[in-house]
Amino acid sequence: MTAQLARLDDRALIRIGGPDWRSFLQGLLTQDVVTLEAGDCRFAAMLSPQGKLLFDLFLHGTPDGAVLDVQAGQRDALVQRLTIYRLRAKVEIAPLPGAAFALWGAQSAGVGWTADPRLPELGFRAVGETPPAAPGAEQSDADAYEAHRLALGAPDPARDCTPDKTYPIEADFDLLNGVDFQKGCFVGQETTSRMKRRGPVKSRMVPIAFEGEAPAFGAEVLAGTLRAGEVLSGRAGRAMALLRLDRAAQGGLTVDGRPVTLAPPPWITLPSAGE
């Protein structure tokens, strides 16, 4: 596969700096910030006090702070939320010009690129006004990147999650290095930790495969006559779905009368039929 490079115009940037930036973000995000170094990239989220997903983000360490790679449509709302939490902390929060870039299909990448922290197969990410050098990579687009992401079974919170309704573990954040369960307290930690500790997760986002065009977002997935979940984002032949795993594992899945099959990636373990 030839390496491909794309500008992700559905992402936007926020700069975080000031003397207290580490402690400020440490208490808000699902990912550890204390150990973040310049050049590091981590996948994280900001949750509601009830533990539901509000914002997904990539945290890029810089020499004097961090750059947040966030959903473009949510950038202003996230800046506002961070400003509310700032109180007396010495933190600088500001939108930053530039964009996020993705590089995939390459065995390695040069200066300025960092490995996508979710899955090695997703490739590399970068932020800035222009992408870092990637010799030999073909210019691609965000749609091709989305097809690549979907093929690997990684949910996209911008497309698959409803803010303040989806739990991060339902969106596989725990399997995609989006939650550090060893760090100190953060907003929503109690609910997130309890869901992880109490036993097998009941519902997750898992890819489904089918013939033809993708069902409508929100279409009901049935296991026989029982509701097993709902379809999320997708394209011809494949989509993400939020599924109740015990029912989905029984097989016999349909959407709008069409048969669909589970297509879980190797990093998701589904219960066996009958469990």
Dihedral of the alpha carbons of 116, 143, 207, 224, in degrees to the nearest 10: 160
Query: Does one domain contain both 103 and 225?
Result: no
Whether 189 maps to a domain, the answer reads no
Q: What is the domain count for the chain?
A: 2
Q: What percent of the chain has pLDDT over 90?
A: 89
Query: Does one domain contain both 121 and 24?
Result: yes
pLDDT at 201: 85
26 and 91 Cβ atoms separated by less than 8 Å: no
Phi, psi (degrees; rounded to nearest 5) at 181:
-80, -5
Q: List pLDDT tens digits, range 95-123.
A: 999 999 999 999 999 999 999 999 999 99
Query: Does one domain contain both 156 and 210?
Result: no
- Identify which of 171, 197, 137, 120 has the alpha carbon closest to the alpha carbon of residue 7: 137
Averaged pLDDT score across all residues of the chain: 94
Instruction: Write out the DSSP string of 49-112.
Output: TTS-EEEEEEEEEETTEEEEEEEGGGHHHHHHHHHHHHTT---EEEEES-EEEEEES-S---TT
Whether 165 maps to a domain, the answer reads no
User: Which structure tokens are listed for 130?
Assistant: 């222009």
Query: Does one domain contain both 16 and 144?
Result: yes
Query: Does one domain contain both 84 and 156?
Result: yes
∠ CA 45-47-53, nearest 5°, is 75
pLDDT at 170: 96
Whether 211 maps to a domain, the answer reads yes
Whether 241 maps to a domain, the answer reads yes
Query: Does one domain contain both 156 and 206?
Result: no
CATH code for the domain of 52: 3.30.1360.120
CATH code for the domain of 228: 2.40.30
Provide the residue range defining the domain that includes 90.
Answer: 4-133+140-160
Query: Does one domain contain both 106 and 217?
Result: no
Query: Does one domain contain both 127 and 219?
Result: no
Query: Does one domain contain both 151 and 245?
Result: no
Whether 169 maps to a domain, the answer reads no
The residues with which 258 forms a beta bridge, in sequence order, are 255
Q: The dihedral of CA 136, 142, 146, 147: what is its sign?
A: negative
User: Which structure tokens are listed for 158?
Assistant: 């911008």
Whether 243 maps to a domain, the answer reads yes
206 and 262 Cβ atoms separated by less than 8 Å: yes
Whether 61 maps to a domain, the answer reads yes
H or E element, residue 149? helix 142-152
Segment among 22-26, 196-200, 209-213, 223-227 with least mean pLDDT: 196-200
pLDDT at 273: 54
CA distances from 51 to 172, 180, 203 (A): 14, 14, 15
SS3 call for 197: helix
**Helix (DSSP H) and strand (DSSP E) numbers for the chain:** 6, 17
Residue 254 banded pLDDT, cuts 50, 70, 90? very high
Query: Does one domain contain both 212 and 156?
Result: no
Q: List pLDDT tens digits, range 145-166.
A: 999 999 999 999 999 998 889 9
Query: Does one domain contain both 211 and 115?
Result: no
Whether 128 maps to a domain, the answer reads yes
Query: Does one domain contain both 227 and 150?
Result: no
**Residue positions counted in the chain:** 275
